[in-house]
Amino acid sequence: MNDVAEGGGANATMSPLAVAHLRRRAPDASRLTVRVVDDWEEVAAIASDIDELAENALEPSPSAEAWTLVPALRYLREGASIKVVLMYAPDTVHQDERNILCAVFPMHMRRKYRGLRISVYSIWNHLYSLLPAPLLHASCAAECIRTLFAWIATNSGSTLLEFPAQPTESKFFHALNEVLRTDERNYLLTDVVSRAWFRPGHDAQHYLDTIATKHHRHEMRRQERRLSELGILEYDAW
């Protein structure tokens, strides 16, 4: 902040950072309300609210942000039943301003689950989804998850809620598990996939010896000989 003395008084010129700090908004998580939309134009109309939420999110979630969610709703639905569950809360700092968007849950409703005739709501995981996770305000992520559970139980017509393909190291996964354990909710972990882990060998020859059979190594040597007959054969690594 720069203080400027002028005409016997004092005027304060604030930097953009200071102004942003004073305008920081704080949601009242105890008063969350739910709004459900299913049209891309409705989501596009609140793109600025979603962008503000992304700046204060628990962690990035590209698939729930406006720049990917709007075109996905417009072009990738293919007849699927998609609803976007939005959660708002009053601003405790600037009470005269509009409510704060606290959560964006893109939800896909299906009539069957693993072959059973049971309705299920799932975080939308379309073909180009970067990460099927909601966008949650960092200050009230747990409250938003609980509000989603309550909405599913009373308004959705579904009995199951699915969170597919969640990285176990993500902040959302930890927040979800904390809510499940604290509230003693029933849940089932259905699929666990370990990521590939590359462990380099002592040298290139050792690596080739461990990944290739004797027949394959013989074939590689034969091809090297054939190539060397055509000219100088060199290997380069970078």
| Same domain (yes/no): 123, 215 | no
Give the pLDDT band of residue 15 (cuts 50, 70, 90). very low
From 39, 115, 118, select the one nearest 81 (Cα to Cα). 39
| Same domain (yes/no): 127, 61 | yes
The answer to whether residues 30 and 82 touch, using CB atoms and an 8 Å cutoff, is no
Q: Residue 7: inside a domain, yes or no? A: no
| Same domain (yes/no): 146, 226 | no
Q: Count of domains in the chain?
A: 2
> Phi first, then psi: what are they for 68, rounded to 5°?
-110, -30
Domain boundary among 142, 157, 182: 182
Q: Residue 15: inside a domain, yes or no? A: no
CATH of the domain at 75: 3.40.630
Which DSSP category does 63 fall into?
Answer: G
pTM higher than 0.85: no
The whole-angstrom separation of Cα 39 and Cα 102 is: 19
| Same domain (yes/no): 52, 165 | yes
Condensed to tens digits (0 to 9), the pLDDT of residues 151-175 reads: 998 876 777 899 998 988 999 999 9
Condensed to tens digits (0 to 9), the pLDDT of residues 129-159 reads: 888 999 999 999 999 999 999 999 887 677 7
Residue-level pLDDT at 93: 78
Q: Residue 4: inside a domain, yes or no? A: no
Q: Residue 85: inside a domain, yes or no? A: yes
Question: Does 22 have pLDDT greater than 90?
Answer: no
Q: What is the mean pLDDT of residues 210-231?
A: 87
220 versus 73: the higher-pLDDT residue is 73
Q: Residue 210: inside a domain, yes or no? A: yes
Residue-level pLDDT at 105: 98
Full residue range of the structural domain in which residue 210 is found: 198-233
From 83, 88, 86, 43, select the one nearest 66 (Cα to Cα). 43
| Same domain (yes/no): 176, 202 | no
Q: Residue 18: inside a domain, yes or no? A: no
Give the pLDDT band of residue 53 (cuts 50, 70, 90). very high
| Same domain (yes/no): 115, 203 | no
Out of 34-38, 110-114, 180-184, least confident range:
110-114
| Same domain (yes/no): 128, 74 | yes
| Same domain (yes/no): 177, 209 | no
| Same domain (yes/no): 208, 113 | no
| Same domain (yes/no): 222, 163 | no
Q: Residue 127: inside a domain, yes or no? A: yes
Out of 5-14, 40-49, 79-88, least confident range:
5-14
The whole-angstrom separation of Cα 28 and Cα 138 is: 12
Summary count for the chain: helices (H), strands (E): 8, 8
Condensed to tens digits (0 to 9), the pLDDT of residues 172-187 reads: 999 999 999 999 999 9
Tell me the three state secondary structure of residue 169.
coil
| Same domain (yes/no): 97, 151 | yes
Handedness of CA 36, 153, 115, 196 (dihedral sign): positive
Q: Residue 191: inside a domain, yes or no? A: no
| Same domain (yes/no): 141, 218 | no
End-to-end CA distance of the chain: 49
The answer to whether residues 95 and 31 touch, using CB atoms and an 8 Å cutoff, is no
Burial 85-112 (b: 16+ CB within 10 A, else e): bbbbbbbeeeeeeebbbbbbbbbbbeee
Out of 67-71, 123-127, 181-185, 217-221, least confident range:
217-221
